[in-house]
Structure 1
Amino acid sequence: MSTKYKFGDNDKLYFITYAIVYWIDLFIRKEYKDIIIESWKYCQAQKGLEIYGWVIMPSHIHMIIASNKNKLTDIVRDMKSYTSTQLKTAIKDNPYESRKEWMIWMMKRAGMKNTNNHQWQLWQQHNHPLEILDNEMFYQKLYYIHQNPVKEGFVEHAEDYYYSSARDFHNRKGLVDLCYIQ
């Protein structure tokens, strides 16, 4: 069995990416991004999730994480399961979601293709966790995370993107409490 993309030791930091099925640009609405943020805060308080860097892009999320309590595999699994349920409800209940039928159709289509699901599938199955081996790799991944919104043309400066930890690294309070490496 491959260990290339698996969480190992909780004492290590991991760079992960998780994406919406078919790379649907779901996170263009504040209320959907806020569901993610609230889930992270809960996981920090209750499950020992440590967040070192993050960004929410329209179709995917990048994070650098660790845990001081529960297994990262379990935290990420529970977080994706919870947010999937919450986001599905938010999509269905949002009277302003003009792409509602299309998104539901795409997520049902993804669910039918996956033997682990019987209905919808919101998240792609994999996270591709990569262990952060040293400070150089940490800062390379953090830079990559923070430059995503700049590269996509959403902002000129990384710290101006509201749904990113770049703000915290430029003396601006971000949305999530961060851990820092020594």
Structure 2
Amino acid sequence: MAYSIKNQEGLYFLTFTVVQWVDIFTRPVYKDIVVDSLRYCQEKKGMELFAFCLMTNHLHLIARAAEGQLLSDIVRDFKKYTSRQVFQALHLNQQESRRSWLEWIFRQHGQENRNNEQVQVWQQHSHGVELRTPTMVQQRLHYTHQNPVRAGICYRAEDYLYSSASQYAGLETILPVTLL
């Protein structure tokens, strides 16, 4: 089911999922591509980022577009850029034991999707829910930050490096966000 961004000025809970739920984000090199791209979107594209959590096969964000920007354009550009960068990094990472398998999956999905040229890392549609009430915001913020705890990656959300939970707990973070 496609969840489109109808209100370009709204605050959204977004989920981007890797094709076939492939666990690509298990290595720092791929995770850092996503974090660096989010930072770029904040600084240059007008993305207002309020929360994030990068898991092994999906990404959760709470974000909106700055005035005069379109959130759907930011999302499209982010997914396109990170797809290319992750796929290129597969070739540069000499330690990648899954290279052939990952390339095959990403190429297969790219060939099956007429909207792509060759490769597809992210699923075509993003799950976007407009957060219209303070209760919805708090529920999605909690859900986002508790994701690695529920997955058994850490005991406390603020200990997970690839999440904004640490900033909400008053600790250092790899990617600063605007607190809600």
Uncovered stretches (5+) of structure 1, i.e. residues with no partner = none
Uncovered stretches (5+) of structure 2, i.e. residues with no partner = none
Q: 2:4: which partner in 1?
A: 6
Aligned length: 179
TM-score (normalizing by structure 2): 0.95
Task: Tell me, yes or no, if the aligned pair for 1:26 and 1:32 is still in contact at 8 Å.
Answer: yes
Within-5 A mapping of 1:43-54: 43-54=41-52
The two structures, once aligned, show a CA RMSD in angstroms of 1.4
The question of 1:77 aligning with 2:62 is answered: no
Q: Deviations over 1:90-121 (max 9, x none)?
A: 01111000000000011111112212224221
Shift of 1:10: 3.5
Shift of 1:74: 0.4
Q: 1:111: which partner in 2?
A: 110
Shift of 1:11: 3.0
The SS at the match of 1:10 is coil
Distance, in Å, in 1 between the alignment partners of 2:13 and 2:138 is 11
Q: Deviations over 1:37-92 (max 9, x none)?
A: 11111111111101111100000000000111410000010111111111111011
The SS at the match of 1:124 is coil
Within-5 A mapping of 1:52-131: 52-69=50-67, 70-131=69-130
TM-score (normalizing by structure 1): 0.94
> Taking every aligned residue pair, what percent have the same amino acid on both sides?
41
Distance, in Å, in 2 between the alignment partners of 1:180 and 1:9 is 21
Which of these residues, 25, 40, 45, is aligned with residue 38 of structure 2? 40
Q: Deviations over 1:131-179 (max 9, x none)?
A: 0011110010011111110011000011110000110111112122211
Distance, in Å, in 2 between the alignment partners of 1:11 and 1:177 is 21
